[in-house]
Copies of this chain bind each other. A is one copy, B any other.
């Protein structure tokens, strides 16, 4: 993890120090990079209380929002290679938070589904995430927070960052239909 050098980046896990401080406070870019890093780090701590790592949460959330999708589709959405996907799914399946099921027509494909426990843990994680959100936005009036979000969305647009969720399997039809 050295993305921290921000605006270099860096990935953080629950690993200790990242190269963090880097930018002038007058720059939106530096500030965003630094806040993003710290936000991610805090989130890791928060979901860590549930025994989850950020990547596990990310997968639970993706599956929760797109029940029945294939591993491949979800891996592409999360922008991780197939081999990494296998490891994460293995981990969560071992903890009985999600399960692989056979695809109804294609026996090569595995579809992913949350278990009851997975839904519970995901809900708990979302609750904790909302608590962090409140901490992040402390002192903001609702209208101010909305303005901040609107500006951040504009920045996302400027950077071609998609904030969209993955449609569930039912929404996906073969192109030729």
How many of these chains are in the complex? 2
Docked CA distance A5–B55 (Å): 5
Interface size for A (C-beta < 8 A) is 84
Docked CA distance A18–B55 (Å): 10
Docked CA distance A151–B25 (Å): 12
**Cross-chain contact B29 with A32 (CB below 8 angstroms):** no
Docked CA distance A78–B140 (Å): 30
Q: Which single residue of chain B is at the shortest CB-CB distance from A25?
A: B163
**Cross-chain contact B17 with A81 (CB below 8 angstroms):** yes
For chain A residues 149-171, which have a beta carbon within 8 Å of chain B?
Answer: 149, 151-156, 158-159, 161-166
A residues with a Cβ closer than 8 A to B are 1-13, 17-44, 47, 53-55, 57-59, 61-62, 77-81, 84, 129, 132-133, 135-140, 144-145, 147-149, 151-156, 158-159, 161-166
Closest 7 CB pairs between A and B?
A: A36-B36, A8-B54, A10-B11, A9-B40, A3-B11, A11-B11, A1-B11
